[in-house]
Amino acid sequence: MDQKCAIVTGAARGIGLATSELLLERGWRVAMLDRDGDELRKATQGRGNVLALVRDVSIPADVTAMAAETLGWAGRIDALVNNAGVAEFGPIEGADYEIWRRVMATNLDGPFLCTQACTEALKATKGAVVNIASISGLRASTLRVAYGTSKAGIIHLTKQHAAELGEYGIRCNCVCPGPVRTKLAMAVHSQEIINAYHDAIPLNRYGSEQEIAEVIAFLISEKASYVTGQVIAADGGFESTGVGLPALRS
């Protein structure tokens, strides 16, 4: 019961899986949640210190069960990583209400519900929340009216939570990844988009799942004990840069 416990949502693959693996390496117990049962079984099979939760973060009853099952298993919740996300890109005129709701349900309702469900347990441990937004929540771009708006929403949700839950010693921070070659990104990044990202990123490359996981692990660790309400872009410099990089390179 002394071992710290984190919940990571969207943990079956991509950034969530890399984060779970890094936390396990660092001695955490990890409740790995994903709605994709097959992928989650593959990701958790044979691992110790892991609880597999086949749940959907957009369904309130699933989220209540997530908190209860994690407490039943570990007796405590020290960190919550709200990572589960979906991306649907397309022109604004074609973004109908179903698309809008699908994206908001996972990307914004999900973190709200999960943090709400874990707040009592996080009070007991003076725990930490890390929300995963995106550079699309920091800067508007084409084709992502729902995705970008959901990610801007989670950035502000982080600050709301930090403002009110600081009272209980709970820290809430947000990580905005730049592009990472996961299944989510590769489904919506054409070769043209990949080239454009390389042009617009000072480090001139995509990031890796592990590079994002390191920032998340730092923010939930004791090393970040006086950091709350912050939004950190792990994006190779994308957000801080204006025009001119391609010209400079050539």
Active site residues: 147
Which among 214, 250, 204, 220 is positioned nearest to 234, based on CA atoms?
214
Helix or strand (DSSP H, E) at 20: helix 14-25
Residue nearer to ligand NAD on the CB measure, 84 or 152: 84
Residue nearer to ligand NAD on the CB measure, 110 or 153: 110
Residue nearer to ligand NAD on the CB measure, 76 or 144: 144
Query: Pairing mode, if any, of strands 79-82 and 171-177?
Result: unpaired
**111 near ligand NAD (CB under 6 A):** no
**13 near ligand NAD (CB under 6 A):** yes
- The angle formed by the CA atoms of residues 181, 111 and 43, to the nearest 5 degrees, is 45
Residue nearer to ligand NAD on the CB measure, 77 or 130: 130
Beta strands across the sheet bearing 79-82 = 50-54, 29-34, 5-9, 79-82, 128-132, 171-177, 231-234
Binding-site size, ligand NAD (CB under 6 A):
30
Site string for ligand NAD, 170-189 (x = CB under 6 A): -------x-xx-xxxx----
Which of the residues 53 through 82 are near ligand NAD (CB under 6 A)? Answer: 56-58
**134 near ligand NAD (CB under 6 A):** yes
Q: Which residues contact 162 (CB under 8 A, 6 or more apart)?
A: 171, 172, 173, 228, 229
Q: Which phi and psi (to 5°) does residue 31 adopt?
A: -90, 110
Site string for ligand NAD, 207-246 (x = CB under 6 A): ----------------------------------------
